[in-house]
Chain A
Amino acid sequence: MKQIADLAGVFAYLSLLTVGGGMAAYPELLRLSVSVHKWLTEAQLVHLYSVGQMAPGPNMMMITAIGEWVAGLPGAIVVLIAFFGPTALLAFLVGRAWKRLEKWPWRESIQKGLAPVSIGLLLAGCFTMARGAIFGVETAGIAVGTLLILLQYKVNPALLILAGAIIGALSF
């Protein structure tokens, strides 16, 4: 029961940090799930997160796996509700109030202000994850190669992640 309550608390908290994208919450996800609660190792978290990039749908579905590891199927369900419930409710309420907010002069200020901060948080999350994923020339090469290909060509990122798996299996 304690585990379920911890899962609910952690993922409800993390959901509120996902401004701009799921990656913004990564540093806190790492701290809480690996250091504080020891639900999994950093390597496992990096693996789950990365494999999750290949899955269809919203890109944080890997959290279901953490919930399942900790407390079985109920854990997975609790994690999903905790992670998507609060922000869903917020979006619902703000969506309905939006017409009134449209004339509120601070709305544009908040949007303009949050944009660079949230992109910075995504980048910070990315650097945090890189520490657990980039170990040497080969892994750095795969990361930079993926980045350059995606910026240059219109290709489905899932294919590049698959390519990363093949290169990894062949070379490490």
Chain B
Amino acid sequence: MNESSEAARVSVLDIFLEFLLVGATSFGGGVVAYLRNSLIVRRRWVNDKEFVEMLSISQSLPGLNATNMAILVGDKLRGWAGSLAAICGVCLPGALLMLVVGLVYQQGGDRPLVNAALKGVAAAAVGLILATVVQLSKKSLSHRFDFVFMALAVIGVNRLHQSVPRVLIVLGLLATLWYRPGSVHKESAAE
């Protein structure tokens, strides 16, 4: 914990401004990559190991990775005030921008050119989300039963029209039991 001496000098305002900067510049999603660059490389507020640990907490909880990371890093640096400063900073620019976009869109009415452009935007966004899913799968799915659980979630929502919380709870429980402590599946997945 000898590195925390530097972190001890971080003020709540510093935290807010650093996260505001990430919130304002992280175009194209992938906020976590921007956070890594800002927090580890530029500011040295957290080290690699802490960052990975916080990311693993963020990913296993509901909530967006970016905001969960803001909460955890903020807390590490300055307690609850740090958390509040970090999450407000990272959200503020995007929230203001989308507020303006919403107003403009609502008043824009039915302009053919804008609608045509939005069709293209929506199609590209589908491709982007699919790419995210593929990249996540490559990173965190290893065992063939992982793909079974993934497919079951898709079938549950899209084919059987079950609600997301129902699918999440039922399949989440099943999958957790499948990988229960000491189960053989867990061992083979770790190979």
Residues of A whose CB lies within 8 Å of any CB of B are 15-25, 27-28, 31, 44, 46-66, 68-69, 76, 80, 84, 87-88, 90-92, 94-96, 98, 105-106, 108-130, 132-135, 138-147, 150-151, 156-161, 163-172
Contacts and interface: CB of A to CB of B under 8 A. Distances in A.
B80 A92 contact: yes
Interface of B: 22-31, 53-54, 56-68, 71-72, 75, 80, 83, 87, 90-95, 97-99, 101-103, 105-106, 113, 115-137, 140-141, 145-154, 156-158, 163-165, 167-168, 171-172, 174-183, 186, 189
The listed residue with most B CB atoms (<10 A of its CB), out of A50, A68, A112, A126, is A112
A21 B146 CA distance: 18
**Looking at chain B's contact residues, is the secondary structure mostly helix, strand, loop, or mixed?**
helix
Given A84-B67, A116-B149, A117-B150, A90 B61 contact: yes
29 contacts: A17-B168, A27-B163, A49-B125, A50-B125, A51-B121, A53-B128, A54-B28, A55-B27, A56-B93, A88-B68, A88-B83, A109-B176, A112-B186, A116-B147, A120-B149, A121-B164, A127-B154, A128-B158, A133-B119, A134-B123, A139-B120, A143-B127, A144-B127, A150-B131, A151-B135, A157-B128, A164-B120, A168-B120, A172-B116
A87 B63 contact: yes
B150 A51 contact: no
Given A56-B25, A69-B102, A94-B61, A50 B71 contact: no
Contacts of A157: 28-30, 128, 131
A158 B30 CA distance: 11
Q: Which 8 A-B pairs have the closest CB atoms?
A: A168-B120, A120-B153, A65-B102, A146-B127, A164-B124, A87-B63, A57-B94, A113-B175
Contact of B102 (A54, A68, A161): A68
A97 B96 CA distance: 33
Given A95-B57, A114-B176, A124-B158, A59 B64 contact: yes
B62 A61 contact: no
Nearest to B156: A124
Central interface residue in B56, B57, B113, B174, by most chain A CB within 10 Å: B57
B43 to A, nearest CB: 18
A157 to B, nearest CB: 4
Contacts of A129: 122, 125-126, 129
Contact of A139 (B68, B123, B130): B123
Contact of A57 (B31, B60, B156): B31
A158 B121 CA distance: 10
A56 B23 contact: yes
Q: Which of A61, A146, A150, A160 has the most CB of B within 10 A?
A: A61
A153 B65 CA distance: 23
